[in-house]
Structure 1
């Protein structure tokens, strides 16, 4: 079944590391392949943008500027030319933090595809947690 209604899922993980440390690590595009291989197996800077190889082919990733609010939003331009905006936040929680990714269902996405996308994002967040808590 495919739906045209825009829906979102907020996927999150608690990380037992300081908020700023998690933000700094996740914000560095060079670290993306280590914790989000579903996004890109490699990323390199090209003319102020980050270009990478993904399971879908060549992508371009544009990150929001570094900020004091934990905002890690990023736009991913797919090989088709379509750009997907991905809201993401690192929110302080005591001595640790919560990393929240908002997965927006794209037009024409089936229930099964949306479920698989959510599983992939959840796996990436779990990998980020593991990597950060091993430090």
Structure 2
């Protein structure tokens, strides 16, 4: 099966730097990223741990940067590591957040559609939360 890639995005009427700082803080994930984070997020060395809809997962963000790179690797309960490319892209005094979703080998189209809907819902929540700050 050929791997497919989908970009899911949202436009946020807040400055890129504010959105990036908020979204890059793992402790804020329970406020907007229900597809990844449960009610609590805890630090474990260089990684973070949370109870997710997929079970207990660990994750690590790319180092803080001024480019808006929010890439993060999620280690699933199975031990599989999923790389999630995410960008916060400046658009004047506003920004776009773009999540790249890749269909892993062995993943059905239905599973990808479900993941895409979860990511879209999380980005919509991020927009609402950050625009309300």
Q: Same fold (TM over 0.5)?
A: yes
SS at match of 1:116: helix
Matched, 1:18 2:23: no
Correspondences of 1:2-81 after superposition (within 5 Å): 4-41=1-38, 42-81=40-79
Alignment partners' CA distance in 1, 2:86 and 2:107: 21
Distance in 1 (CA, whole Å) between partners of 2:10 and 2:104 is 23
d(CA) in 2 for partners of 1:40, 1:107: 24
Pairing partner for 2:86 from 72, 77, 88: 88
Gaps of 5+ in 1: none
CA RMSD of aligned residues (A): 0.7
1:23 to partner: Cα distance? 0.1
| Superposition misfits of 4+ residues, deviation over 3 angstroms | none
The equivalent of 1:122 in structure 2 is 120
State how many pairs are aligned: 132
Q: CA deviation at 1:40?
A: 1.3
- Rounded to whole Å, the distance in 1 between the matches of 2:35 and 2:71 is 17
Provide the residue aligned with 1:100 in structure 2: 98
